[in-house]
Copies of this chain bind each other. A is one copy, B any other.
Amino acid sequence: MTTIEILGFTSAFLTTFSFLPQAIQVIKTRDTASLSLAMYSIFTLGVACWLVYGLVKQDSAMIVANMITLLLSSCILAIKVFNDMKSKRTRLAEQ
């Protein structure tokens, strides 16, 4: 394995698994107040596009990395959407 390949895998590993601590924190605390719904919606769509790109190019590293990231960011997005809907319903009920 060349140095540049090691750098590529390291970069992919870091940016992929960086979402794991955020997913764990959100699952544990259920607190998503300071997370941006726009960010996770756009990012999750972007990662899905990268996954299709990897499938078309038949690049296994890209496919695996983006499947993991898609799983993690979708989980964070789902909890964010659920929390935002719940707080909207609470605000409406109080009016």
Contact = CB atoms under 8 A, between A and B. Distances in A.
- Determine chain A's interface SS by DSSP, over half rule: helix
Interface residues of A, number: 40
A56 interface: yes
Interface in A21-44: 21-22, 24-26, 29, 31-36, 38-40, 42-43
A50 B19 contact: no
Oligomeric state, in number of copies? Answer: 2
A7 B52 contact: yes
Contacts of A10: 46, 49
Interface of A: 4, 7-8, 10-22, 24-26, 29, 31-36, 38-40, 42-43, 45-47, 49-50, 52-53, 56-57
